[in-house]
Amino acid sequence: MTALTVANVTKVYGSGHTEVTALTHANLELRDNEFLALLGPSGSGKTTLLSVIGGLLSPTEGTVTIGDTALTTLSKKEQTRFRANRVGFVFQGFNLVPFLTARENLTVMASISDSSRSEIEARADQLLEELGLVNRHDNLPEQLSGGERQRVAIGRALVSDPDLILVDEPTASLDTELGTQVVQLLAAEIKSRGKAGIMVTHDLRMVEYTDRTVQILDGKLLNGAG
Amino acid sequence: MRLALAEIRRRRGRWASITGAVAFIVFLVLVLAALSDGIFVGTTGALGSSDADALVYSTDGRRSLVRSELPIAELPALAAIEGVADAGALGVLLATAATDGAAFDIAVMGHLPGRVGEPTTLEDGRHPAANESFVGLADVSLREEGIDLGSSILLTGSAQPVEVIGFVTDARYLLAGTLWVTMETWESLRFEIRPETIGRGSVAQALPFTVADGAAVDAVMANVDAAFGTTETVTTDEAMLSLPGVAQQASTFTAIIVVSFVVVGLVTGLFFALVTLEKRGQLAILKAIGSSNYMLLRGILVQALIATVAGYVLGFGLSRLLALVLPPAVPVEFLAGTARTLFLATVVMGAIGATLSFRRIIHIDPASALGGEA
């Protein structure tokens, strides 16, 4: 089944002589159980596309459909709710809540998503085990290594059982070995759950862990977008 | 909610600072309020300790117990006015007293025993009977002058002492201890100490009265003034505020307290503004993963509530500790009603201050969480 359809999406920032076109008529389809790498240099529009897909930015033109929901027709409030339940994010630089333990950084989603606390707690415990964090569940982020923090971030993205996982430069703050381990783990978690995932990266070595690669340059998707 | 509580639990130092700041301001406000209430009660207690609804003054007395004079013979006419349930008489004589050689200021209050106007705050002993002369009730503050049950108080200029047969609380007049005697005794003392008043006959300085159940105080007061023609009738609250300096003291303290509460709001607002600025990235992440503005506001309000309630409790405790070490001469009254009002004001101002940072939160762009901006 199609997990994501990006149809003719254009994103323009500013207006008049300050106008910048970040995305031009982008089209992309992603199936369930598919993990895609979005590859491109800095300023190519990767993050803008990820933001539009995740409902964090509204496109100037075009539509984004996740599952059977046209994200671009939802109000801001509905998009926030949609993100809480249907989209998981893994950010650059981990971005965990610093005063929550590893487990609490996952179970915080019980307060945000519509899943019950018991569901979230059960999934959190399972994810912590799968991610090799059982012995670190009670540690604060400052007590964790970079790799461990990024694994917690992966757990947070998956704990509300979203349909789509959006991953932004997951290896940016890690060395090569740790980065590879994290992306392998991420790919395994996404695939084992049959979810769809998009990983923004400029690291070609990470591409081998994904099903497909799409390149973006100057706001245009270049190959394999469909 | 859990997020807000976890932040307080794990960032104790930061929350201790805002709690301490609120506690310090609450401490100042509570002490100021206690001083204000203490001065108010100490100044107006002679009027406030009775159950009178209103007092009648002579028009030329301009609401002053000292200046006003009304013939005591008018009392039956006042009692007969429709809506008046009970009427009494009140006189005040500022004098100097002495016990065991030590002199002190005293206000001798004339009243009619068993009638409205007498203090209802008997703490010890008994009220004088209507036919008893040169016995009286003393305000408990006179104990500091060595007065006890059975003590005799001799007023300067008077030959006959007054024996204390009971004590009342909160019945001072213009911060002086009071001695409550019958109108006959009061008149005798007045003639002795202020011989220039002898020619004025039997007068009271105000006629307090209560209003019958179901009667409107304002309407009865208007009836009284219409019946006498040369009187000004005011409620007991108005009479208290008309005492010299009372309204000015009350408004000065109120202004200081209001400004202090504005400071509570500003301190809380500044604290949350700084915290919001510092947590901007974290808040962007929370918004990106689906936290609503409402959820974040609720968390801030919970944190403000906890900080202000904890600050209040701490400030309240400190103010009560101070009260234990203050000398008795300092007029402080810690009233439960004032404490409740100040508690509500603290919490409300804290919430308002915290809410000011909500505008900043609304404007945090969740998209900034991506691209490494957060």
pLDDT in tens, B82-127: 999 999 999 999 999 977 667 899 999 999 999 999 999 999 999 9
- Pick the residue from chain B with its C-alpha nearest to A57: B367
Determine how many CB atoms are found less than 10 A away from the CB of residue B252.
13
- Measure in Å the smallest separation between the Cα of A170 and chain B Cα atoms: 10
Residue A56: list chain B partners with CB under 8 A. Answer: 288, 365-367, 369-370
A51 at interface of B, judged by CB pairs closer than 8 A: yes
Q: Is the pLDDT of residue A38 over 60?
A: yes
CB contact under 8 A, B289 and A112: yes
Q: Regarding beta strands B84-87 and B122-125, do their DSSP bridges make them parallel or antiparallel, or are they unpaired?
A: unpaired
Residue B369: list chain A partners with CB under 8 A. Answer: 56, 89, 91, 95
pLDDT average, residue stretch A190-217? 89
Cα dihedral sign, B222-B225-B228-B233 = positive
Q: What is the pLDDT of residues B130-144, one digit of tens each?
A: 899 999 999 999 998
Residue A52: list chain B partners with CB under 8 A. Answer: none
- Measure in Å the smallest separation between the Cα of A140 and chain B Cα atoms: 10
- Measure in Å the smallest separation between the Cα of A89 and chain B Cα atoms: 7
pLDDT means per 10 residues, chain B with 374 residues, are 86 89 91 90 93 95 91 94 96 88 90 95 94 95 92 92 95 94 96 89 94 95 94 96 89 88 84 84 89 90 92 94 85 87 89 85 85 54
pLDDT of residue B374: 47
- Pick the residue from chain B with its C-alpha nearest to A83: B290
pLDDT of residue B190: 94
Whole-prediction pTM value? 0.75
Q: Taking Cα atoms as reference points, which of B129, B197, B128 lies closest to residue B157?
A: B197
Q: Regarding beta strands A212-217 and B207-211, do their DSSP bridges make them parallel or antiparallel, or are they unpaired?
A: unpaired
Q: Is the pLDDT of residue A88 over 60?
A: yes
Residue A104: list chain B partners with CB under 8 A. Answer: 6
ipTM above 0.85, yes or no: yes
Residue B374: list chain A partners with CB under 8 A. Answer: 91, 93, 95
